[in-house]
Amino acid sequence: MAITPLPAAPSRLSPTDFSVKADAFVAALPTFVAEANALAAAMNLNDTTSISTTSLAIGTGTQSLTVDASKSYQPGMSVKIARTSSPSNWMHGDVTSYNAGTGALVVNVLDVLGSGTYTDWTVTFSAPMMSGLGYGQTWQTVTRVAGTTYYNTTERPIALSVKAAAALDSQAYLIVSVNGEETGSSTATSATGQAPVAFVSVIIPPGENYSITTSTNTLTCRELR
């Protein structure tokens, strides 16, 4: 925000208009003090902290909510939307747009913690999210069937770990293809009386797909997502 310039100060070198300028200068001080205090509050992040009662379900992607008007949110600014009564439930992302007149705020949420739909939110300026593989992600056991195509619908890379176990005294082979291209493969041959196990780990970029080819239906799959 801008601070209104003070009028010209009175000078003893100009006695004819000293009183007029002095009165104008003193009269302008309350406005100057109010604007200076408002600027100080903004510098203390009050101008990028607000509350909202919009009903939102925790999730990634576009989130639209109404916050306090006349704030200083800017496109590209990183913010955290945390449930006021339970801050361990939150969403983190970048501002897409903000209307200072209405308080309409749109955020592209990239990371979340917790779940549920709530109506008490505190929105604060935040450091950009660490978005590399593993940040804000956890290993999850998933059910996968050979020959089926699966998609990474998140906005971040995911890691895939696959284990294929075959019958006793046999051979296990395992191939993982990303976007139709063979990306990882493994073949295991057992010793007598043992069951062979093949392992493959690959990275699936955002928006890409993968499928599994194997000699066995006994698959154990985990995704870091």
Chain segment 1-14, per-residue pLDDT in tens: 578 999 999 999 89
At residue 42, the pLDDT reads 61
Q: How far apart are CA 143 and CA 178, in angstroms?
A: 17
The per-residue pLDDT for 43 is: 60
**Interval 56-101: pLDDT, tens:** 999 989 999 999 998 888 898 899 999 999 999 999 999 999 998 9
Structural domains in the chain, sorted by start: 7-44 (no CATH), 47-125 (2.40.30), 139-224 (2.60.120.40)
Indicate if the pLDDT at residue 199 is higher than 60.
yes
Q: Identify which of 118, 141, 7, 13 has the alpha carbon closest to the alpha carbon of residue 56.
A: 118
> Quick one: pLDDT at residue 46?
62
> In the numeric block, which tokens belong to residue 194?
């043992």
Q: Is 0.75 surpassed by the pTM of this model?
A: no
The answer to whether 160 touches 215, Cβ cutoff 8 Å, is no
Tell me, what's the pLDDT at 50?
92
Mean pLDDT of 146-167: 92
Long-range contacts for 182-189 (Cβ within 8 Å, ≥24 apart)? 183/210
Read off the tokens for 111.
Answer: 């990371």
C-alpha 110: how far from its chain's center?
3
Q: List, edge to edge, every strand of the sheet that includes 139-142.
A: 139-142, 219-224, 158-165, 197-204
* Stretch among 61-70, 76-85, 184-193, 196-205 having the lowest mean pLDDT: 184-193
Residue 1: helix, strand or coil by DSSP? Answer: coil
Q: What is the pLDDT of residue 96?
A: 95
Distances (CA, A) of 62 to 95, 105, 129: 10, 10, 16
